[in-house]
Amino acid sequence: MTRVWRCAGLSWADGGPRLRWEGGRPSELERGRRVAFAVMAGGVRTCVGARGHGCPIRAEVSGRSTGARCEECARLNRAHSVAADTAADDPRPYRVYLAWFGPGMVKVGITAAERGPARLLEQGAVSFGWLGTGPLMAARRTEELLRAALGVPDRIPYAGKRAVRAVLPSAGERAAELAELHARAVALDGWPESLERAAFRAVDHGAVFGLEGPVRVDGVVSELVAGGVVSGDLLAAAGPDLHLATGRGVVVLDTRLMTGWELTGAPDDRLTVPVGASGDPGVQDGLF
């Protein structure tokens, strides 16, 4: 009998990536490890539901969607979301950060202090620095202040992040760009009094992600399909992306495309899913 798994996404724990499986143990992803799976033949991709609950109608969703949710479940999932400004009563302390993805590609954001750098790892931030810590609404007001005053966004599409990984400058240059923006940020007037500013310290994820040297990208998986196979050796992992050495070159797999499918072991060493150019953005769901 064929054993079937359903992927629950990629997470970062203890500084390393792991694939999570519904009802099973996570798979640690070490560089050099073979990543291989097949989508069940004749299967369809179904909505993953919202906030821990399954989709009541098991709606079919697009293979190119990175959220794997139907319209109604996507709406429910955003309810009481910090990102959507519907959780203003959250009592936890929050941190404001600057995240660096490439030259001139810096965003400002917030994350619950208790999560540490997990949010930055999940986004694929090559380098980052904390700006301050305080109550949620103070952190949100600071984020808006910096967006307006510094002209930095709060969202950068993944296609842009992938495109610059092949031409990353040194860790020192990355830190210097962050340091300049951090200095401008803390010099601004209008910071909420309840948000404690942080001294600058750059945290670099180049080695964690496996991006120490030039990163070749020959293509990006645009979607999974029924009966399709993905097989390759893991070269690097950044955010939800796995960089795999395959028979068709170095291909990036956004692991968010794996959710909603029934998966099984790969029958052989092949790559038989659609692969687009490295700048192919696919279909983005959500705010980040």
**Rounded-to-integer distance, Cα 124 and Cα 244, Å:** 16
**Rounded-to-integer distance, Cα 202 and Cα 277, Å:** 32
* pLDDT for residue 84 is more than 60: no
**Rounded-to-integer distance, Cα 108 and Cα 126, Å:** 14
Q: pLDDT per residue over 141-191, tens digit each?
A: 999 999 999 999 989 998 889 888 888 999 999 999 999 999 999 999 999
**Bridge partners (DSSP) listed for residue 205:** none
* pLDDT for residue 105 is more than 70: yes
Q: Is 249 exposed, middle or buried (0-12, 13-18, 19+ CB in 10 A)?
A: middle
Contact (CB, 8 A) for 127 and 178: yes
- Bin 9: left if φ > 0, else alpha if -120 < ψ < 50, else beta: left
Q: pLDDT per residue over 214-234, tens digit each?
A: 788 899 999 999 999 999 999
pLDDT of amino acid 107: 96
**Rounded-to-integer distance, Cα 257 and Cα 276, Å:** 14
Q: pLDDT per residue over 260-287, tens digit each?
A: 999 999 977 899 999 998 654 444 433 2
Residue 28, φ and ψ in degrees, nearest 5: -70, 140
Q: Output the CA angle 131-241-152, nearest 5 degrees.
A: 30
- CA distances (Å), 65 to each of 71, 109, 223, 258, in order? 11, 23, 8, 10
Please, which pLDDT band fits residue 1 given cuts at 50, 70 and 90? low
Q: What count of Cα atoms within 13 Å lies in the side-chain half-sphere of residue 12? A: 22
- CA distances (Å), 163 to each of 192, 193, 245, in order? 36, 39, 17
